Structure 1
Amino acid sequence: MMPATPKTHKRKSTQYKPLTAMQEAYCQSYIKTPENQSQAAIDAGFSPNTAAVKASVMMRDERVQKRIAELMEERNKRMRVSADYVLMRLVEIDQMDVLDILNDDGGMKPIAEWPKVWRTSLSAMDIATIKTTQASLQKENGEADLSVEDVEHILKKVKWPDKVKNLELIGKHVDVNAFKERLEVSGTVTIADRMAKARDRVKKQAGGEE
């Protein structure tokens, strides 16, 4: 009589099992802080003592991976951020010229006259407030009524951040993979070629939404 073959217990697949409320909360938190899985788990309600382990387990779950991908795709559409957008913003910043905001005498132009790319790409401005003159308003009877001070605001300096690094973080945060694009073509592809293709794709997307 042959000995009985021991039964092997196969692990049941969780592919079609719905996510728990905690797992869904983790997915929602992850897209806000993708660089810190443990913090995403803590924000989702897991204990700080086990957050790292829980996050590691969930990130190996195909259902969690799929849900995160869905949420990121929805977010990209909602924010209208794409690899093309990141590429075009990067080129705009690379082509910024300080002469765009300077007068012929070297002084700065009023901020209202700056190109939009300058107004939206600076991280800080140092503005000084100076009281220049003082006058008195007189009543009809000649008595002093109120003192008025003329105030002048002067832009002293601007803070120029590392915008390339900033755009890399944006690209990673929304998972647009702007810096992972692979060009499988022969010959040399210039930045102008990539920009032209990016603009064409943006126009097609805009036309499809109308």
Structure 2
Amino acid sequence: MNHIERKRNMKKIWFILIPIIIFTFVVFAYYWYRYPAMFRILQDDSLSEAEVASLVESKKSQDLNLLVAYFSYTGTTQGIAEEIRFKIGADLFRIEREEDYSDVYTESKSEIWQNDCSNLKNTVENMDQYDVVFIGFPIWFHATPAPVNTFLESYDFTGKIIIPFRTSGGSDIEEAIPTFLNSCKDLAVYQERRISNSSEIDSWLADIDLF
């Protein structure tokens, strides 16, 4: 093969490779943009279904202390949380970032990408007293918002039933569960649910069957 033929072959190879490289870059950029938590290593050290079922059964005959904790940016999750609190007679706690977002879109995505959990304004007094903790949040970029991760990392939830609910319109709660579970070990996650509107609350509470 002479020099001219080799040069032609190299041009053909690059003609094939360049579109592949561009396509790969575009796909990577798309998934980084839409799913910033996708490239993190996430752990799941939560309890098994059997362990959760056993814990739930042990709580059914008790007079339970209940907490509804929520993170809300637009007020949607707050409204659902307040209604749940009213229906089950729980205490209410708002999860708030210590500093308000100046650019919520950019900053929240960066937090998820870097697993940078911001400090919170307040803490729950005597978390040990609660048997069941509802945790509500919107789904941002198919993940749990960073303030919720900080909340989970701040307490020992051993022996408590954790019931996550989310209020995002398009994403299912299962998309956010990996980042939710990554924030805390030995979580007993039970009856997690997407609540699109308040009309779904009663049937969900009936499925929980603890109150």
Q: Do the structures match in fold with TM over 0.5?
A: no
Give TM-score, length-normalised by structure 1: 0.24
RCO higher in 1 or 2 (8 Å CA, sep ≥ 6)? Answer: 2
Larger radius of gyration: 1
Give TM-score, length-normalised by structure 2: 0.24
